Amino acid sequence: MKLKVRIRGSKVHDVGYRVILLRKAMELGAEKFNALNSEEDGLQVIMAFIEGSEDAIEEFSEAVRSCKPARAEVSEISFHEYSGHIIGMDAYMHLIQVEQLDKGIPALLRIDQKQDRMLEKQDRMIEKQDKMLEKQDETREDIVNEIRSLRSDLKSSLDDRFARIETDIDRIKAKIGL
């Protein structure tokens, strides 16, 4: 037995609906399954196709009525007999994997581009840090040179004072007769 299920609402895509439907179809031992996202009159639509025993189809229909993803906003669910081709369960799972890769690759490329921009910014920051370190080294060298100069000036000044003090002491000694 084959069944076509139409789920329509403002938010039925990208909420995990097809995965829930696939899981239920697998649990029921469905032979074939397919589910497609589309849009109709400004609303999102999921078309699900399932082939299995009459009991499995009945239980699947009941599950569709009673279970939906938490973030889904459904306005209409309808069931119709179907006579067209439905792909096998394995083929559908492969198709879902390809769809996920199709979604993931652009995201990975965006991440790669952002990483490249971050690395460029990091390189510019390192260049600025290197310049700051060079300036710091230059400033340190200037300070060291200035301290050496001050030391030299201070030593020279102290040497002159000590020489005058010694001369003054020698004069005083000479006056007092020592």
pLDDT in tens, 8-64: 999 999 999 999 999 999 999 998 999 999 999 999 999 999 999 999 999 999 999
pLDDT average, residue stretch 63-86: 95
Q: What is the pLDDT of residue 178?
A: 78
Tell me: pLDDT of 81 over 90.
yes
Closest to 4 (Cα-Cα) out of 21, 16, 28, 20: 21
* pLDDT tens string 107-156: 889 999 999 999 999 999 999 999 999 999 899 999 999 999 999 888 88
Structure token digits, residue 138? 């230059």
Give the model's pLDDT for residue 177: 83
Token reading at 12? 């039925």
Fold (CATH) for 2-87:
Alpha-Beta Plaits (3.30.70)
Can you tell me the distance from the alpha carbon of 92 to that of 22, in angstroms, rounded to the nearest whole number? 9
* Cα–Cα distance, 49 to 120 (Å, whole number): 50
| Residue pLDDT, tens place only, 155-166 | 888 988 999 999
Average pLDDT for 90-96: 91
Which pLDDT does position 100 carry in this prediction? 85
Distance, CA of 152 to CA of 160 (rounded, Å): 12
